[in-house]
Amino acid sequence: MAKTKDTNQEAQKRSGALGYFLTPILLLALCGGLAVLCYSLAPAHDVQRYLNLAFMDTLKVTSTTSGLNIRHRDIKTDDQNTTEDKPKLQEGKINYPTFGEQYAKLEAKSINLMVGVYYGVNSELLSRGACQSTQSAIFGTVGNHIIDAHVNTFFAELHNLAVGDTVTMYTDYGKFTYEVTEKIEFNKNDKKYVGVTKDDVLTLYTCAPQVIGSSDTRIGVRCALKEKEFYEPLES
């Protein structure tokens, strides 16, 4: 009887050890299968937008990104008189950016603002211009376009934007014109204004000014799309 009991205990130990070994492998296989399924059902840039749900402030903890490749596109504005020669299409080709790429310019004439927009957020990019969250929609697609910049540099006058003001986004593939519809204020942990939307909106925000330390309050504006112009037709 004792021998049988010992044998059962040994079998249970082997079964437990096998379970510990197989469980992580099965979980890894399951996750891999789900990832492949997601990428097969939706474009990669859309999948990334929903996977990268980290609030933008959590992406500023490092001063640089290892291997960051900062690129600059040749982006012209109306003042350079180069967009008049291009066709103005309601739908067209989109040049999707990579992390660290300056792919747009933001203009708000009412506050004398013209700043480059980088795709992705970290301290190094924020020192160079405004940054677009990778969880947000690319210009030319429908969704929430979320842009952030430091209050003591590029967005120092953001609080002076008023309802009815015009904000223009220039890219090398099109021009997108927005109108300020709402002034916003929210806590840094509140995702009300920085989540995915089904409407075509532009959200600009920065920290509320504070003499000492960093404020937990964010201020900014919400804008609605008024006009879009693509330069090249959709590829067949």
pLDDT, tens only, 8-27: 556 555 555 555 556 667 66
How far apart CA 76 and CA 70 sit, in angstroms, is: 19
User: Is a pLDDT exceeding 80 seen at residue 152?
Assistant: yes
pLDDT tens figures, 44-95: 444 444 444 334 444 444 444 556 778 888 898 887 655 456 667 889 999 9
Q: Are residues 18 and 85 in the same domain?
A: no
SS (H, E, C) the chain: CHHHHHHHHHHHHHHHHHHHHHHHHHHHHHHHHHHHHHHHHCCHHHHHHHHCCCCHHHHHCCCCCCCCCCEECCCCCHHHCCCCCCCCECCCCCCCCCCCEEEEEEEEHHHCEEEEEEECCCHHHHCCCEEECCCCCCECECCEEEEECCCCCCCCCHHHCCCCCEEEEEECCEEEEEEEEEEEEEECCCCCCCCCCCCCEEEEEEECCCCCCCCCEEEEEEEEEEEEEECCCCCC
Indicate whether 47 belongs to any domain: no
Residue 106: HSE in the Cβ half-sphere, 13 Å Cα cutoff:
28
Indicate whether 236 belongs to any domain: no
Q: Are residues 127 and 31 in the same domain?
A: no
Q: Are residues 114 and 150 in the same domain?
A: yes
Nearest to 109 by CA among 156, 170, 168: 168
Name the more confident of 71 and 143.
Answer: 143
- What does the block give as tokens for 27? 């979980």
How far apart CA 69 and CA 65 sit, in angstroms, is: 9
Q: Are strands 174-187 and 217-230 parallel, antiparallel or unpaired?
A: antiparallel
Residue 9 — left, alpha, or beta (φ > 0 → left; ψ -120 to 50 → alpha)? alpha
Indicate whether 20 belongs to any domain: yes
Indicate whether 202 belongs to any domain: yes
Q: Are residues 139 and 219 in the same domain?
A: yes
User: Is a pLDDT exceeding 80 seen at residue 227?
Assistant: yes
The model's pTM: 0.72
Q: Are residues 33 and 58 in the same domain?
A: no
Q: Are residues 130 and 35 in the same domain?
A: no
Average the pLDDT over 158-173 and give the result. 97
Indicate whether 48 belongs to any domain: no
Q: Tell me the one-letter amino acid at 62.
A: T
Name the more confident of 65 and 127.
Answer: 127
Indicate whether 235 belongs to any domain: no
Residue 26: HSE in the Cβ half-sphere, 13 Å Cα cutoff:
6
Looking at the 3D structure of the chain, how many domains does it have? 2
Q: Are residues 93 and 190 in the same domain?
A: yes
Q: Are residues 21 and 90 in the same domain?
A: no
Indicate whether 183 belongs to any domain: yes
CATH code for the domain in which residue 151 is found: 2.40.260.10
Indicate whether 116 belongs to any domain: yes
Determine which of 64-73, 94-103, 151-160 has the lowest per-residue pLDDT on average. Answer: 64-73
Question: Alpha carbon 234 to chain centroid distance?
Answer: 23
Q: Are 60 and 188 in contact (CB under 8 A)?
A: no
Q: Are residues 24 and 139 in the same domain?
A: no
Q: Are residues 129 and 215 in the same domain?
A: yes
Q: Are residues 177 and 65 in the same domain?
A: yes
Q: Are residues 58 and 34 in the same domain?
A: no
Range of the domain at 195: 54-230
